[in-house]
Amino acid sequence: MITSETVIAEVLRKGDLLAAACPSRQILQHITSRWGILILIVLQSKTMRFSELRRVINGVSERMLAQTLQCLEGDGLINRVAFDVVPPHVEYSLTPLGLEAAEKVQVLVSWIESNLPRILAHQHQSGSAG
């Protein structure tokens, strides 16, 4: 007999983005948010401090950067290491899971960058920029 608990357990075992109650939707939102994608891409190359990340990712506010880092850390994608020094020193890096996610996101980023002229031409042609 299939019960609602069985169905929920199966959904949570693998994840189902199309199911409204599946927690994978929240994780998808964290990863694919404007700042989430950029953080993953930047941290692919090296460990960085908060101030370095803020300089490299143009336009992100301190609040949004901190909030996005916290979400990605909560999802197990980012390591946060705080050193007991004055002034405080905190470094961020990708976990193995975060590196996997960054590699997937990099494919999309590369596709967008490669196809930007075609996309912009279409937007200009249809009058729907932005």
* Residue 127's pLDDT band (cuts 50, 70, 90): confident
Q: For 41-90, how does the pLDDT look when each residue is reduced to its tens digit (9 = 90+)?
A: 999 999 999 999 999 999 999 999 999 999 999 999 999 999 999 888 99
Distance of alpha carbon 105 from alpha carbon 36, whole angstroms = 10
At the topology level, CATH places domain 22-127 in Arc Repressor Mutant, subunit A (1.10.10)
Global pTM exceeds 0.85:
no
Do 43 and 78 meet the contact criterion of CB atoms below 8 Å apart? Answer: yes
Q: 89 by DSSP, 3-state: which?
A: strand
Q: For 5-20, how does the pLDDT look when each residue is reduced to its tens digit (9 = 90+)?
A: 665 566 556 788 888 8
